[in-house]
């Protein structure tokens, strides 16, 4: 787990702010769920790999609890208990830290942050397309351009395995292997329990992928012929991609028939987002139509996405080295030249803050010249120098740090000038 120093924390919060704005634009309302939940709830469908990596402990009440490794289980619990009567669709947004005992390396941490969007109550392709659109909008807002969506459909592989009578636990094991791209190992397990036709179909499917999605869909269709559930899964994927294309979302997609994800609750379209040169996903999501029912909420289809704030930050930094997350606009220092006017400096600082201006007051007792050189090092834009002589006439000195010009103005004028500059400046930039 890491300490995030001010610049990193600012970067993270900027991305979080964009994520919040996307939630607002799409009508997703924020919910805040606890960091700790019952182990069984979090472990139920997280998948073997992530289950092993959970931080699990017993609390003083003897309950077996864990730090959340993802948001979806908590959201499904919430919907199936406290929001059952809520009219559908329900659109929920969450943001916060998650915990997994991963091997720390570039972009892989034991504490990381996600922006999470869940669209609950619709089984239609529109819902899946909306989730893709949200992911696209957030990434575009951060300035990234070259990202692409790897897309598949769990229903294709699970459909084939179900028709072959492969039990769910076995299916989960196979999905875990496919998630790690261990296709030969997955086929080896199946050799004992599935038909030659099934193995042949899977071998064929594993080779089907590409960016021209209509060709890939055709090949998938041809490969799964005779497997009814798998065929309707391909149809569903095609409907989603058609909608993405009709809506002119301009998504860069790569469809992979053999793509699987480690989380066990997926039932439909699944996806991950990548940027070239980074082999870890910036985000991932998909459709999970049975999780809410599993938690006692009645049959409730749902689709969602989790975007990794830490990884988006790494991708943006890598592509935009000059990206400075400074809060643009004014940063004012109020500088009393001696002890006598310290109180006045604090009083004027408060008055400026009331007008929305960011003001730091000199607290180190520095002489004017040292305070000024320190101010330019810290990107202060304006300094208000308070001296007893000027103050007797109700005046102060306002210094513009950029062009190094200064003028003597009245206290009322300085407040008006800084307020005017403040309202004219944009507050933030990415």
Cα–Cα dist 134/234, whole Å = 23
**Eight-state DSSP code of residue 108:** B
Minimum distance, C-beta of residue 69 to ligand AMP, in the bound complex (Å): 8
**Residue with Cβ nearer ligand AMP (108 or 173):** 108
User: Exposed, middle or buried, 381 (CB in 10 Å: 0-12/13-18/19+)?
Assistant: buried
Extract the tokens encoding 335: 């500088």
In 171-218, which ranges are E strands? 209-210
Among 253, 271, 282, 274, residue whose Cα is nearest residue 15: 282
User: With contact defined as beta carbons under 8 Å apart, do 131 and 270 qualify?
Assistant: no
**Residue with Cβ nearer ligand AMP (152 or 308):** 308
Tell me which residue has its CB nearest to ligand AMP.
308
Cα–Cα dist 93/31, whole Å = 6
**Eight-state DSSP code of residue 142:** T
Minimum distance, C-beta of residue 37 to ligand AMP, in the bound complex (Å): 15
Minimum distance, C-beta of residue 271 to ligand AMP, in the bound complex (Å): 10
Cα distances from 378 to residues 323, 371, 429, in angstroms, run 17, 11, 18
User: With contact defined as beta carbons under 8 Å apart, do 306 and 72 qualify?
Assistant: yes
Minimum distance, C-beta of residue 225 to ligand AMP, in the bound complex (Å): 31
**Residue with Cβ nearer ligand AMP (42 or 240):** 42
Minimum distance, C-beta of residue 76 to ligand AMP, in the bound complex (Å): 14
- Residue with token string 């103005």: 409
What per-residue string of b and e applies to 58-79 under the rule 16 or more CB within 10 Å gives b? eeeeeeebbbbbbbbbbbbbbb
Cα–Cα dist 282/269, whole Å = 17
User: With contact defined as beta carbons under 8 Å apart, do 137 and 105 qualify?
Assistant: no
Minimum distance, C-beta of residue 18 to ligand AMP, in the bound complex (Å): 15
**Residue with Cβ nearer ligand AMP (282 or 383):** 282
Q: Provide the 3-class DSSP secondary structure of residue 185.
A: helix
Minimum distance, C-beta of residue 306 to ligand AMP, in the bound complex (Å): 4
**Residue with Cβ nearer ligand AMP (155 or 308):** 308
Minimum distance, C-beta of residue 205 to ligand AMP, in the bound complex (Å): 22
- Residues contacting 360, CB < 8 A, separation 6+: 331, 332, 333, 334, 349, 380
- Chain positions contacting ligand AMP, by CB under 6 A: 70, 100, 102, 107-109, 112, 114, 281-284, 306, 308, 310-311
Phi and psi at residue 235, to the nearest 5°: -60, -45
């Amino acid at each position: 787990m890491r300490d995030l120093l001010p610049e990193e924390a600012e970067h993270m919060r900027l991305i979080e702010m964009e994520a919040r704005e996307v939630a607002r634009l799409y009508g997703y309302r924020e919910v805040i769920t606890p960091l700790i939940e019952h182990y069984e709830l979090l472990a139920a469908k997280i998948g073997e790999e992530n289950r092993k990596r959970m931080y699990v402990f017993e609390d003083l009440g003897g309950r077996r609890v864990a730090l959340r490794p993802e948001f979806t289980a908590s959201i499904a619990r919430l919907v199936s208990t406290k929001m059952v009567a809520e009219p559908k669709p329900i659109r929920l947004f969450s943001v916060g830290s998650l915990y997994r005992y991963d091997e720390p390396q570039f972009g892989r941490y034991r504490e990381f942050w996600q922006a999470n969007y869940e669209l609950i109550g619709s089984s239609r392709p529109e819902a899946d397309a909306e989730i893709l659109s949200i992911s696209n909008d957030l990434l575009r807002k951060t300035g990234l351009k070259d990202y692409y969506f790897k897309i598949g459909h769990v229903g294709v592989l699970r459909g084939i395995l179900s028709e072959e009578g492969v039990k769910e636990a076995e299916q989960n094991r196979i999905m875990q292997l496919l998630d790690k791209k261990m296709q030969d190992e997955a086929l080896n397990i199946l050799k004992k329990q599935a038909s030659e036709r099934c193995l042949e179909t899977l071998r064929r499917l594993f080779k089907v992928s590409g960016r021209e999605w209509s060709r890939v869909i055709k090949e998938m269709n041809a490969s799964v012929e005779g497997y009814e559930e798998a065929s309707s899964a391909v149809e569903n994927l095609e409907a989603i991609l058609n909608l993405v294309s009709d809506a002119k979302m301009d998504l860069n997609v790569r469809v992979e028939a053999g793509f699987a994800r480690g989380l066990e609750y997926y039932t439909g379209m699944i996806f991950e987002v990548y940027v070239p040169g980074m082999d870890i996903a910036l985000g991932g999501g998909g459709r999970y139509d049975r999780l809410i029912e599993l938690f006692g909420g009645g049959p409730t289809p749902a689709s969602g996405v989790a975007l990794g704030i830490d990884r988006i930050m790494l991708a943006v930094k890598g592509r935009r080295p000059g990206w400075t997350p400074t809060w643009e606009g004014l940063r004012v220092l109020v500088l009393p030249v001696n002890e006598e006017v310290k109180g006045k400096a604090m009083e004027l600082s408060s008055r400026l803050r009331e007008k929305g201006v960011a003001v730091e007051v000199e607290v180190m007792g520095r002489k004017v010249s040292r305070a000024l050189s320190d101010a330019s090092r810290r990107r202060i834009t304006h300094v208000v120098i308070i001296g007893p002589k000027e103050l007797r006439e109700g005046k102060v000195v306002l210094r513009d740090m950029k062009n190094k010009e200064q003028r003597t103005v009245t206290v009322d004028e300085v407040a008006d000038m800084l307020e005017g500059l403040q309202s004219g400046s944009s507050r933030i930039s990415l």
